[in-house]
Structure 1
Amino acid sequence: MPVDAKLYYVLIASPGDVKEEREIIREEIHRWNSIHTRNMKIILQSVGWETDATPDLKERGQAVINRQLVDTCDMLIGAFWTRLGTPTPEAESGTVEEIERAAKEGKRCIVYFSDKEISLSGIDYKQYERLQEYKQVLNKRGLTNNYKTLEEFRERVFRHITMAVQDIVREEIERRSAEKEAKITEQAIGLSVQSVQTFQNVDISFESLADAQVSVKKLLESKFGIQDMEDTKEKEIAKIQTVLNSPELASLFNQQPTTESISAITQIIETATTPSMYALAAVGKYGNDSSSDWLEIVGDWVERLSTRKLESGYSWVSYIKTYPGLLLLYALGISALRANNINFLREVTERQIYVREYDSEFSLLSLIHPAYVFYNDTSKLIEPGFSRNYTPVSDHLNTLIKNLLYPNEEQSRYLDCFDLFEFLISLKGIQVCNDYAYFGSFTWRNDTTRFIIKSIQSAALRQGKYGIAISDLMNGEINLINTAKKYDEFAEKIRWDFGRSAPNYVSLLIQLAKEGKKVSSYRELINILDRKS
């Protein structure tokens, strides 16, 4: 499926003695794209003088490179080892001229110096001396990184690219905000005759679901709706984070968890998160899921409230502070599934988060898996009577989401959608995390099994509202089939209790659908298996 993405050019600048490093930079840019492009809607394109500069005899060679590559790039990555390069009329070398020109234009410049062993008999001492002098100049400006091995270089390049892109995106948001303010000012003093709709005349409220739906519709029509929603998102996230760090919760966090304390904690967090749940439910229903801007807003909203930070004290505290992210996943995901705005759900479920404390990337789904949000079995404290089915988080969220977002809907219809959503989250977890499947109340609620079976077979044939949505969520037929196999294998290995069992027949349902055999119930599926055996 085509991806609406922004293209950023990354210029590779170096003398000729770091060919391996230049290739590694290209490889790491490619790896970054494979991981982040779908989620961040950004594509990085590596460029270099040897492949992307067009010869032009009207001006000197470095001037051509400057005009064609340096001036058009968004980021520069430089690497040095023993040589500085050939001097130019403007700088100590062509590489230096590229770095200085890009830095002067305010572009991200990441420069590396190799500490690999060198053969003294094989280097140009004048080049090496000039290189050391330039290194001292850059060190004073804080522009350099050193590395001893190519593996270390590879790891640093990928990590620094990720951080640089985040900075570029943030600056882009700030720039757009400044442009918006300028336009508002122009209108206020009469410089602009064009009528514009801005945050000042769009009444945004997420205090109720109805308010949120009206607000989202207005924002979708507003010229500055994206930026207004971005601003509102930041305010709502700040409110939730303030509550998470409040003295009221701090006192509850500073003790062993009990049924009473966990109940109080979840109620406080749910109350603080409710406006954001209303907002994302409205976006899931009415939003434009083909817009990279709207996808980034919802993805960032959930991600920021799902990122776990190590804290002192009880270990379960840092985990339960990601509960808002889980709440938003359900609010957005169920709404998007029902409205067939499946790109919103895919945006969140495929999102990878870089966690600085671990210096690693994690799937968002793995970070807000209920078993981790309610760490060390604190989940058993969230819902009385957990021992019957042992899906306390699912049972709790089922009631919470129903009361907040679908209070007037028929119970059976609501449960069909709720259990299908949880099943799809479980399936998607296997696809993006391999072993982070989440088994909710669909593992024991027989009333919804028919609907899930029908939806799986519809997905195999890419038919119907939910069939198409599921196929798109899994990124097409091949990925659906491969994930179904992994899911069935995983479900077979799980040791079940309390009468629960995960569907381990997804592959079979897909196969039967392809053969033109429709299955309407689990009993019918068992009969087919018996006849085959």
Structure 2
Amino acid sequence: MPREGVTIYDLLISCPGDVTGYLQLIKEAVDNFNKLYGSLNNIQVSIKHWSTDSFPESGDKPQELLNKQIVRECDAAVAIFWTRFGTATDNYGSGTEEEIEEMLSADKQVFMYFLEAPIIPSNIDIKQYEKVQEFKERYKDRGIFFIVKDESDFQRLFTNHLSLYFLKLISEKETYQNENIKPFLTIRDKKTLSDENILPKQFSLLESKFINEKQSKINEYIDELNSTVISEEADILEDKSKMLTMPSKEDANVDFLYQIADSVAISDKFKYTINDFAKENQIKLHENFWYLGNLMKHKLQVQIPFGNSGPSYIGSDKEKKRFSKLNKLYWEIISYKEYIEYFTYIDNIKFVELIVSNLGKTYDEDIDVKLMVPKGCLLKHNNLLYPGENIIEEIQEIELDELLFKIEESDSVDAYAYFQIIPSNIERININPLLTYTTKPSYEDQKYNYKNSLDHIFIYKDFANSEFDILRFGIEYLKHNSSMAFPSILMFENVPQTVEYEITSKHIPDVVKGKIHLKID
């Protein structure tokens, strides 16, 4: 059955004619290596020799043709010298020498051995033997050959050298492959995908459609009130007419009415707030803008089991409607001003949107991220300004905190996926024995709920030392070639030049350390 992914290494045998008997020993050593280590490691050493692997070809010198066909394609060579050096080529003293030099010049492994076995003197070619000795002398300082005494000594040494060399190659290959496929974690800017020259952002809530619509709604209220004023002259004529036609019984009713009710007037605080808004926005108020006709308010208020019913009013529908509209206008302006104050504060915060990226070729798990922000730079969520009393409820209803402080997903970045499940808010109700409580939560309760919402966004574990404020958070799983946003934006009181980080994970043995470089205006 064929094996996929087998790496084949070609081993060139380069020997003069007097050591051909050693070829079989080389083959046996290679076969044993392949049986012991080849199958286990998906490699195979294949022997190449000119007698079996070359073919007839024309167009160049014989040795050069052999170099092209076999020598330069081999990954390693084994050479044995005894008494003969070989036949000279155009460039070297023998073909074996040329093959060795070809391999060495290509930074390939050469196993070289010199045999010092006994020999009959009459069989020695002195010139050939001298060339062998000269060649050995030339390489003695390079440490690339060994002396062997006989076949047994050669087989032992060569088997050992073959195993050491190719097992090292296997180990290096596995190390390279493991390095190549392991996760690679880093922290980058969401927009630029860089950790260099990150320019902190700022919100522009004061220019948002939301705040413009708030202002437009107030303008519409003022326009409507300007166009529906109550005429003082008409009321005077109506009062005179009533006085001329009013029976004495009705006079008594009027006297009684003034005993139980007061005239309604717009307070100076209301007037100042509305006038101030109109002046800032260059809006002119009608001269009868504040006139409410004969509107009156009962002095007594009816008690109901769960609190006050609120005041009741006496007057025409037009008068009541106008007073209600002025009241709404005042509170709309109060809310608008609280939004302006809150949005101004938020717009001045500088922040960055950071992501954790796995640029490696395999997933990672149990990722722990630690950020080290220089002291005096980090703005923690506990120190954020609370929204005003009249807007905090609406801000929670529209989940503005999530829109502002969470990092949105994009086509290349996942939103943070490991927030805790937020329990439904149970408002703290203060029940007294008289059952006189209000269902609307107090400002303190609303601030409590708002802080809880922020706590579920800014889920970092918070530490500190003499140099840094330290934030930690975790990511359970991050697949390869993907990125996940931080749980929240990172806010600054003062923008630091660098933020250091450390990342530990299940599949990266070392601590990943790095720096994020911020651009300061």
TM-score (norm 2): 0.36
Structure number with the higher helix fraction is: 1
TM-score (norm 1): 0.36
Which structure is larger by alpha-carbon Rg, 1 or 2? 2
